[in-house]
Amino acid sequence: MLKRTLIGIIRSHELTGEKAKDPALKTKHYKLPKAKAWDEVVSTLKKMNGYKLLHEVPNVGEIVLERRTITGRTQDITLTVFDLGPSKSAVDIYSASRGSMGDLGSNYRIILEIYRELDRKLAPYKI
C-alpha cells in the first residue's frame, strides 16, 4: 500500500486490464451473459455509498460514476462491461482524479473497493 501511495504522489489515475502487473488490478471475469452482468453491476453500483451514477450506455457497456474524496477532490470512474462469449463477461475500471496533483493511491483504493463489492455480489459467477 505504501508503494501505491508513493506512486500516487505523481500519478492521478489508475486502471485495470488483462495485463496488469498488480493482481488486484486484473480484469474481473464472470460466468454471466453481458446483459445480466450489466444489470448486476449497475444495481451494485447504485447501492454503494458515496458514488454518483452519471451515465449508463448499455450498448457500449460503459458506466460512468463520480465520487468526492474527503479532501473535496472529484474522481471520475468508468466501468466497462464487455462480452467474452455467449455466457461470459468481464469488467474493467478506470479511475482518475480531477486536478493536477497526484491522488496518493485513492484511485487504486476505489478500484479495489468496487471490485470487492462486485465480487461479493457476483461470487457464484466468478471465474
Has residue 9 got a pLDDT over 70?
A: no
CATH no. for residue 30?
3.30.310.220
Domain count, the chain: 1
pLDDT at 10: 61
Q: How confident is the model at residue 5 (pLDDT cuts 50, 70, 90)?
A: low
Amino acid at 106: S
* pLDDT tens-digit series, residues 23-73: 999 999 999 999 999 999 999 999 999 999 999 999 999 999 999 887 788
Find the domain containing 103 and state its range.
2-125
pLDDT at 88: 97
pLDDT at 99: 80
Has residue 11 got a pLDDT over 60?
A: yes
- Do β-strands 13-15 and 88-97 pair in parallel, antiparallel, or remain unpaired? antiparallel
pLDDT at 2: 54
Q: What percent of the chain has pLDDT over 70?
A: 91
